[in-house]
Structure 1
Amino acid sequence: MDKSPDAFRTISEAAEELDLPQHVLRFWETRFSTIKPLKRGGGRRYYRPEDVLLLKGIRHLLYDQGFTIKGVQRILKDQGIRHVIAIGEGKPLAALPPPEPDDEGDEAEGPSVVEAPVAPPPSRPRFQLPNLRPPAPAPAAAPAPKPAGLSAADRDRLSDALRELLDCKRLLERAREG
């Protein structure tokens, strides 16, 4: 039996909607002060519909857009909770509301966070990892060259590889649970 969209979700229901393990939601509670599910007897967590949308926005920023936890914390602080909830609702970034005065500042002032269902990430084309082997050693008489930094293209490829590895990790975790 499906629940109403306005119904509260348990942590297991929220985790299933977001395609995340429950421990990730508990960890996020320690990193994002805006995530405050309702807790009942025995510490059981209940997520409000807006909490689920906020979690969905956080998940999208972390997993699909490649932000770090600090990056998402900065977005919550600078753009506000409504901005991240709008991302969780699937609104295009161009259509997101501008930050409002009551959304700025301390992220703990907004509504509590709850997860929302997330569509699986779109499949990405496979790519070839760049050859990152060090160059052959220089002759003994010549000074060793200074290592060069990664190019923007290499960084993009590595970011794509990381996202793909995270997708694989999620698939493995689901396979272990099932």
Structure 2
Amino acid sequence: DVDLLKGIRHLLYDQGYTIKGVQRLLRENGAQFIIALGSGDTAAAEAISQQKQAAVREEEAHSAEQERADAAEEAAIMGSPKSSSHGRRLFGLIKGDDDGPVAADGKRLSKDNRTLLQETLFDLLECKRLLDQVR
């Protein structure tokens, strides 16, 4: 399209954009934006830019909402951590609430966090065992 080429020429020669800069503008805002800039219609270019930004924000909001829904579904499938009633003890992770490992901030880990850490460690050890079997 001749108008698009005029817009690209305007940005390169009159506005001092690099080729990569024009490519980025074209990719982010589309051909109509470049055409509007080339024809001097800054109002149209601004409107196109705002529409693109609104579309991006809407897509980000939708993506965040989908991630929250996926996390909720995963939590429903996975369930909560198992209690420590199975009696397994490893490296002192399961002790009384006043004992046990200390977090980076100097506070004691809660019983639920210690249980979760212990279960994760057992899962990792089981993965290692399975990997060792196939080697």
Tell me the TM-score range normalised by the shorter chain.
0.3 to 0.5
Larger Rg: 2
Structure with bigger RCO (C-alpha 8 Å, 6+ apart): 1
Q: Give TM-score, length-normalised by structure 1.
A: 0.26
Q: What TM-score do the two structures reach when normalised by structure 2?
A: 0.34
